[in-house]
Amino acid sequence: MGSVAREIKRKLIIKYFFVTEFVTICFVVFLTSSNFATGYGHRATFELNFLFSQWLCITVYGFVLVALRFSEKDNRSLRLLLFTIIILTGAILGTLLGAAFDFDRRDKDFLWIIIHPELFFQLVFLGISLGTIIGLSFHREEKILIAKAHLQEEELKRLANEKKIMETNLRILLSQIEPHFLFNTLTSAIGLLDSDLKRGKTMLLNLTHYLRISLAKSRRSNNSITKEIEMIEAYLQIFALRMGDRLQYTIDIQEGIDHLLIPTMLIQPLVENAIKHGLEPAIKGGAINIRIRTNENYVRIEVADTGPGFHKNSKLGVGLSNVKERIDILYSGAGRFVLDENQPSGLKAIIEIPYDQNNGDSGR
Amino acid sequence: MTRITAIVADDEAPVRKHLLTQLLAVWPDLIISGEAENGPAALALIEKLKPDIAFLDIKMPGFSGMDVAKRVAGICRVVFITAHDEFAVEAFESEAIDYLLKPITEERLSKTAQRLIESITSSRRPPIHLPDIIARIMADMQRNKASDYLQWVKVPYQDGIRLVSVNDIYYFQANLKYSKAFLKNQSPLINLSISSLSKELDPNVFWQIHRGTIVNISYIDKVSTSKTGRGLIKLKDRSELLTVSRPYLHLFK
């Protein structure tokens, strides 16, 4: 924001310089065409008036810019006081300077104008008016432009965030219809239908169940723990049938928290990762243990496997990064996702997300 | 004429059952002399039984079907089975290597069977150049996977290890042979050098700004120039300034 504000200020300084110049020229024309100051021994030639006006107006403008530096001060009356003092000083100094450069004065007394208080005060008043008008409109325009730029930036941020959410949603959608999973499951189902009709049917029913919940959910962002776990169980059942005794699993949920809402498809990638990188590469298979607990403010979800853990996993990857990114976006820093070593072996993924106790809602 | 024999290797029993059923329907004369459920078992089985054909699932525990194929070329002909692996399938197509997609259709399987019968009855010699081709395909696949950037780094945590997402790391600083990762509130040592990090991290997010510093550009707050002409980076939430040495200054132009 800082550089944008500076850029706006720079543009306005130039703009209002030209405004001041315009006023100066008007003033010159006025002085030249009227006999405003002629009564005090001032010769109303264009050059003399031009010099005089330039000195007056530019000095005032310079002081306006100084005064605007204090426009950020919080205290309103202090701000007003500072502004008044500075503009007044500018007007007096400008008038004195302008008068001092009126070379035509025979006596060459630089402060000649002081002995004509009437003229002096009129000029100072003109300077104050100019300073006040320029200062206030400058300040107002600056505020408006900065607010606009701010709004634009917010809008950009919002759009970027929206884009991010859409991207992750798309990735979730793509991950739940992962072709490898689908084709392998269908192949296994076909194989089972040839040999064990009952288990084949169970497999297909589980697949249907998993697809129904996970696909319906992509349109909503939250789901109760019950529903979410129902889907995870269907998913694990499918793998239990496919992998036989190479897969064991436990699901342990604290009592009374089934109704709490959690983001959809948050646990599934962790389970998928545990199977893909933890159990499938192991000849003997292994176990997946899912645990959900709450404390006062957080839901804590753990997915642990007994696979090779970090050591072999050079490309432990995109699925887990997606989860991390989603938690960062959804909870803007209030959620946590870490991967720890599981004891005695394997990987333990831990999610901690805040939830609102009143409506059981966790997040948006 | 001796009967043609084959073994079937897949880690999922129902999939083996599926393949056997299809084979029985399409090629009733084929003798299935054994089944295996992982890479090492498949290899042992082939070496023991010396079948004419091995149907090998690509993704198996222990080691993959391609690893098995590399070692048994010359002993038997290989047919790969895969559910979905675009990269491998493309490679098989271009190298005319036999493969089957799961679920296996009778139509496709009978084509494969025909080709195998022809090849076995005509020459009786399995192709010997296969290991080289497979090794090349595997290297290509590896390279394809290696393009994934480093996402997680190991840091010591309490008694064990924790993985930290690189997105949470503000910057890396060289520390002897290794480097230090600077997070919001901690700066653990990690066992990767700055030069290996600069190769493995996503260059769109992590910029090397100094011989010993890699910064996560999403945390940059301000960049300014010092009196000596070097760049200074101020990061969000952190007070220290990072120096951009001259060879890297162009990044910020």
Domain CATH for A317: 3.30.565.10
Q: Are residues A182 and A75 in the same domain?
A: no
Contact (CB, 8 A) for B97 and B132: no
Residue B125 has pLDDT above 80, yes or no: no
Query: For tokens 């319906």, what's the residue?
Result: A216
Q: Which residues does chain B have within 8 Å of residue A191's beta carbon, measured at their own beta carbons?
A: 12-19, 21
Contact (CB, 8 A) for A290 and A232: yes
- Confidence grade of residue A105 (pLDDT, cut at 50, 70, 90): low
End-to-end CA distance of chain A: 28
Tokens of A222: 């939250």
Q: Are residues A99 and A154 in the same domain?
A: yes
Q: Tell me whether residue A361 is in a domain.
A: no
Taking residues B46-63, report their average pLDDT: 93
d(CA B116, CA B120): 6
For B51, residues 6+ apart whose C-beta sits below 8 A from its C-beta are: B5, B6, B7, B33, B34, B76
Q: Considering chain B, what is the average pLDDT of its residues?
A: 88
| CA B199 to each of CA A317, B72, B145, B167, B207: distance values in angstroms, whole numbers, following the listed order | 17, 36, 15, 16, 11
Residue A68 has pLDDT above 90, yes or no: no
Q: Are residues A136 and A181 in the same domain?
A: no
Query: For tokens 């993924």, what's the residue?
Result: A349
Residues A195, B148: C-beta atoms closer than 8 Å: no
Taking residues A77-86, report their average pLDDT: 86
d(CA B4, CA A309): 43
Note which residues in 183-242 of chain B have CB less than 8 A from chain A. Answer: 222
pTM score, two decimals? 0.72
Q: Which residues does chain B have within 8 Å of residue A303's beta carbon, measured at their own beta carbons?
A: none
Q: Considering chain A, what is the average pLDDT of its residues?
A: 84
Angle, helices A46-68/A76-100, rounded to nearest 10 degrees? 160
Q: Are residues A141 and A273 in the same domain?
A: no
Query: For tokens 């699925």, what's the residue?
Result: A319
Q: Tell me whether residue A88 is in a domain.
A: yes
Residues A180, B84: C-beta atoms closer than 8 Å: yes
Nearest to A36 by CA among A49, A25, A24: A49
Q: Which residues does chain B have within 8 Å of residue A194's beta carbon, measured at their own beta carbons?
A: 17-18, 21
| CA A37 to each of CA A41, A122, A332: distance values in angstroms, whole numbers, following the listed order | 7, 10, 67
Q: Are residues A144 and A239 in the same domain?
A: no
Residue B102, class by beta-carbon neighbours within 10 Å (0-12 exposed, 13-18 middle, 19+ buried)? buried
Residue B40 has pLDDT above 90, yes or no: yes
End-to-end CA distance of chain B: 77
Q: Where are the domains of chain B?
A: 5-146, 152-252
d(CA A228, CA A250): 15
Q: Which amino acid, A16?
A: Y
Q: Are residues A92 and A215 in the same domain?
A: no
**Maximum pairwise Cα distance, chain B:** 89
Q: Tell me whether residue A164 is in a domain.
A: no
- Confidence grade of residue B230 (pLDDT, cut at 50, 70, 90): confident
Structural domain that includes position A80: 2-159
To the nearest whole percent, how much of chain A has pLDDT over 90? 30
Nearest to A283 among B61, B157, B167 (CB): B61
- How many domains does the structure of chain A reveal? 2
Residue A363 has pLDDT above 50, yes or no: no
Residue B173 has pLDDT above 60, yes or no: yes
A5 or A233: whose pLDDT is higher? Answer: A233
A361: which strand partners? A356
E strand map for chain A:
222-224, 247-253, 261-263, 286-294, 298-305, 336-341, 347-354
Res A41: pLDDT: 65
d(CA A218, CA A214): 7
A305 or B252: whose pLDDT is higher? Answer: A305
Q: Tell me whether residue A362 is in a domain.
A: no
- Confidence grade of residue B101 (pLDDT, cut at 50, 70, 90): very high
d(CA A27, CA A50): 8
Q: Peptide bond before A344: cis, by omega within 30 degrees of 0? A: yes
Residues B162, A325: C-beta atoms closer than 8 Å: no
Residue A358 has pLDDT above 60, yes or no: no
Residue B218 has pLDDT above 80, yes or no: yes
Q: Note whether A350 contacts B: Cβ–Cβ < 8 A.
A: no
Q: Tell me whether residue A171 is in a domain.
A: no
Q: Tell me whether residue A115 is in a domain.
A: yes
Report helix, strand or coil for A13. helix
Res A364: pLDDT: 44
A145 or A4: whose pLDDT is higher? Answer: A145
Neighbours of B21 (CB within 10 A): 17
Q: Tell me whether residue A165 is in a domain.
A: no
d(CA B45, CA B54): 10
Residue B32 has pLDDT above 70, yes or no: yes
Q: Are residues A211 and A86 in the same domain?
A: no
Residue B71 has pLDDT above 50, yes or no: yes
Residue B45 has pLDDT above 60, yes or no: yes
Q: Are residues A112 and A197 in the same domain?
A: no
Q: Is the dihedral of CA A130, A135, A140, A144 positive or negative?
A: positive
Architecture in CATH of B152-252: Beta Barrel (2.40)
**Element of type H or E holding B207:** strand B206-210
Nearest to A333 by CA among B183, B189, B235: B183
> For the domain B5-146, what is the CATH code?
3.40.50.2300
Residue B49 has pLDDT above 50, yes or no: yes
Residue B124 has pLDDT above 80, yes or no: no
Residue A357 has pLDDT above 70, yes or no: no
Q: Among A164-168, A248-252, B201-205, B244-248, which is the least confidently predicted range?
A: A164-168
Composition of chain A by helix, strand, coil, percent to 5: 65, 15, 20
Nearest to B166 by CA among A268, A325, A305: A325
Q: Are residues A155 and A207 in the same domain?
A: no
Q: Which residues does chain B have within 8 Å of residue A349's beta carbon, measured at their own beta carbons?
A: none
Q: Which residues does chain A have within 8 Å of residue B21's beta carbon, measured at their own beta carbons?
A: 191, 194-195
The three-point CA angle A30-A35-A40 to 5° equals 120
d(CA B205, CA B167): 9
Pairing type for strands A347-354 and B160-165 reads unpaired
Q: Note whether A241 contacts B: Cβ–Cβ < 8 A.
A: yes
Pairing type for strands B160-165 and B152-157 reads antiparallel
Q: Are residues A185 and A334 in the same domain?
A: yes
Res A65: pLDDT: 87
Residues A280, B222: C-beta atoms closer than 8 Å: no
Q: Are residues A152 and A230 in the same domain?
A: no
| Residue A242 φ/ψ, nearest 5 degrees | -70, -45
Pairing type for strands B189-190 and B178-182 reads antiparallel
For B156, residues 6+ apart whose C-beta sits below 8 A from its C-beta are: B162, B188, B189
Q: Tell me whether residue A364 is in a domain.
A: no
- Confidence grade of residue B41 (pLDDT, cut at 50, 70, 90): very high
Q: Are residues A114 and A262 in the same domain?
A: no
